[in-house]
């Protein structure tokens, strides 16, 4: 029987030595985030959750606020010939969501370096 492993390689499931080796490597990868202290670990995850909460608030404000609640107010402004509320609901929110992904990546790299768990 052939199965896919986390490396996206097909491995014969009957060959236990390969499966055990891949599982061991996967466990090593999980434990590579070595924090200096338990307090650093808690602070890191608290900062991570704080960042995610802030970005989710922006996501909610743009998608629900600008796309639904404030659409009538925004529709009084023209943007590239379209009503701004319509534009936010159809295009603007998508641009903001993509920008949020880049902000998250950049901020997480800063956070990783601050706590010494960066990949470089």
Do 13 and 68 lie in one domain? The reply is: no
Do 76 and 25 lie in one domain? The reply is: no
Phi-psi region of 40 (alpha: psi -120 to 50; beta: other; left: phi over 0): alpha
| pLDDT at residue 16 tops 70 | no
Q: If you ran DSSP here, which 8-state letter would residue 36 be given?
A: S
Do 8 and 65 lie in one domain? The reply is: no
Query: Nearest-5° angle of CA 118, CA 100, CA 51?
Result: 55
Q: Is the pTM of this model over 0.95?
A: no
The number of domains in the chain is 2
Do 88 and 53 lie in one domain? The reply is: yes
Range of the domain at 102: 35-120
DSSP helix/strand/coil, 47: helix
Strands (E), 30-113: 78-79, 82-83
Give the sign of the dihedral formed by CA 98, CA 104, CA 110, CA 116.
Answer: negative
Do 39 and 26 lie in one domain? The reply is: no
Q: Does residue 10 or residue 41 have the better pLDDT?
A: 41
- Residue-wise pLDDT for 51-86, tens only, equals 999 999 999 998 888 888 888 898 898 888 888 888
| pLDDT at residue 34 tops 70 | yes
Do 94 and 47 lie in one domain? The reply is: yes
């Amino acid at each position: 029987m052939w199965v896919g492993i986390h490396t996206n390689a097909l491995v014969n499931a009957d060959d236990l030595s390969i499966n055990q080796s891949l599982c061991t490597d996967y466990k090593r990868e999980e434990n590579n985030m070595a924090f200096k202290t338990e307090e650093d670990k808690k602070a890191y995850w608290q900062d991570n959750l704080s960042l995610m909460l802030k970005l989710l608030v922006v996501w909610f404000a743009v998608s629900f606020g600008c796309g639904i609640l404030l659409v009538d107010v925004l529709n009084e402004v023209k943007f590239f010939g379209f009503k701004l509320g319509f534009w936010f609901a159809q295009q603007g929110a998508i641009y903001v969501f993509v920008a949020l992904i880049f902000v998250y990546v950049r901020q997480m790299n800063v956070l990783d370096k601050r706590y010494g768990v960066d990949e470089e």
